[in-house]
Chains A and B, each alone.
Chain A
Amino acid sequence: MVAKSAEQSENVETPRVAWLMGLAAWAVPGLGHLLQKRWVRGLLLGGGVWVMFITGLALGGHLFTVSSKDQGLAALVQFLPMSANVGTGLLYLMCWITNTGFAEQAHRLTYEYGNTFLLVAGLLNYLAALDAFDIAAGRKE
């Protein structure tokens, strides 16, 4: 009986809208929750990520990218923080298109703080995207 209900719950298909909400939440921080009318949660999550990202840039942090110059292990070393930065979705893409925030400013006192803010903004937005996905899929209230 228990095994049967567990099997049934595994077979429940994830609604397509859940993937869209997750994608929207990743692309624009807070959007996935706002589209589901979770106003307060959307503003808190989106606001937190946006403020963290903008503060990171203002503190002199830089975004990571993998360029053709990076080979082997050097590429991997760049790839890991880049994947964290990419978590901010279109914010990262806009910076990449306009070439904003990729220059290192190691002479600034708050440079490392800026890097940390930018990395964690992306990671927190991944968390927010998963939350939006779970809400849309009915796995969370």
Chain B
Amino acid sequence: MRHVFWMAIFAGLTGVVFGAVAKGTDRQRLIYGLKVFAEFMAIAFILGWILYFLPIR
């Protein structure tokens, strides 16, 4: 749970910075920041499940 928490904090802060430097209206930048956050989270979960099934321990 702790790892998911820090991953979410990381994704959130990165989304804030990416959204702030993006071009467009405030609304477009807000949506872009949220999209970056969601992509980070989704990719992390997908990769996590893929790695779970791989015998690499």
Give A contacts to B, CB under 8 Å. Answer: 41, 44-45, 47-49, 51-52, 55, 59, 109-110, 113, 116-117, 120, 124, 127-128, 131, 140
**Contact yes or no, A117 B10, CB < 8 A:** yes
Chain B interface helix/strand/loop/mixed: helix
User: In the complex the two chains form, what is the Cα distance from A109 to B2 in whole Å?
Assistant: 10
Nearest chain B residue, comparing its CB with the CB of A116: B10
Give B contacts to A, CB under 8 Å. Answer: 2-3, 6, 9-10, 13-14, 16-17, 19-21, 23
**Contact yes or no, B21 A45, CB < 8 A:** yes
**Contact yes or no, B10 A113, CB < 8 A:** yes
Nearest chain A residue, comparing its CB with the CB of B7: A113
**Contact yes or no, B9 A48, CB < 8 A:** no
Q: Which listed residue (A44, A109, A117) contacts B17, Cβ 8 A?
A: A44
**Contact yes or no, A44 B16, CB < 8 A:** yes
Q: From residue A30, how far is it (CB to closest CB) to chain B in Å? A: 10
Chain A residues in 8 Å Cβ range of B3: 113
Nearest chain B residue, comparing its CB with the CB of A120: B14
**Contact yes or no, A45 B17, CB < 8 A:** yes
Of B16, B20, B23, the most chain A CB neighbours within 10 A belong to B20
Nearest chain B residue, comparing its CB with the CB of A47: B16
**Contact yes or no, B10 A49, CB < 8 A:** no
User: In the complex the two chains form, what is the Cα distance from A131 to B20 in whole Å?
Assistant: 9
Chain A residues in 8 Å Cβ range of B2: 109-110
Q: A44-B17, A45-B17, A131-B21 are in contact. List 6 more A-B contacts (CB 8 A).
A: A49-B17, A51-B13, A117-B10, A127-B17, A128-B17, A140-B23
Chain B residues in 8 Å Cβ range of A47: 16
**Contact yes or no, A45 B6, CB < 8 A:** no
| Closest 4 pairs (CB-CB, A-B) | A44-B20, A48-B17, A131-B21, A124-B17
